[in-house]
Amino acid sequence: MAEKPYGLIATFDTPGALMHAAEQVRDAGYMKWDCITPFPVHGLDKAMGVRRSKVPRISLAGGITGFCTGMSMIWFMDRFDYPITVGGKPLFSPLFAFPVSYELTILFTAFATIGGMFFLNGLPMHYHPVLNYEDIRRGTDDLFFLVIEKADARYDAANTRALLEKVGGKLVNELES
């Protein structure tokens, strides 16, 4: 086994078993741990004690930026920088500037949402100790894993292993860092 392990990993067969285990690991007070699932398991956030995602705040900021960009861009171009009267219409009005600003609101929100999701998730990260685990490929197929990091304050090789076995984890192994 590795000299400096990253943590312990346990395997579960069903989402139900994983959820049950997650509740107990959460109640045991661990902070730096994670579940690996092939699809989003409904209710696992709550079982893990994960707080509501912060992505919406970033999206909102993106949306506001987009709308202001649209309005100010059109004002600057058609009213300020090079005013031309077309069809006797006003040089600037928020009404005709609205469709473009609306589209830019959506465009900027989309970029902010996806950028925000990557940023909060710390992706792209092509190297990760979890990805080195032999069986992990089934974590994107049909198996479920629970990982407790060594960096957690409560981590103790023997006790943590005992906890993982107690909550129903199969094949509890050390992860190389």
Do 175 and 129 touch, CB atoms closer than 8 A? yes
Q: Does 43 bind other proteins (CB under 8 A)?
A: yes
Contact 97, 66 (CB under 8 A): no
**What is the Cα–Cα distance from 103 to 98, expressed in whole angstroms?**
9
Does 173 bind other proteins (CB under 8 A)? Our answer is no
Size of the site for other proteins (CB under 8 A): 70
* Spatial contact of 53 and 31, defined as CB atoms under 8 Å apart: no
Q: Rule CB under 8 A: is residue 59 a binding residue for other proteins?
A: yes
**161 and 58 Cβ atoms separated by less than 8 Å:** no
Residue given tokens 């994983």 in the structure block? 18
Choose the stretch contacting other proteins; rule: CB under 8 A; options: 115-123, 150-158, 159-167, 168-176: 115-123
How far apart are CB 15 and other proteins at their closest, in Å? Answer: 4
151 counts as binding other proteins under rule CB under 8 A: no
Residue 166, interface with other proteins (CB under 8 A)? no
Please tell me whether residue 81 binds other proteins under the rule CB under 8 A: yes
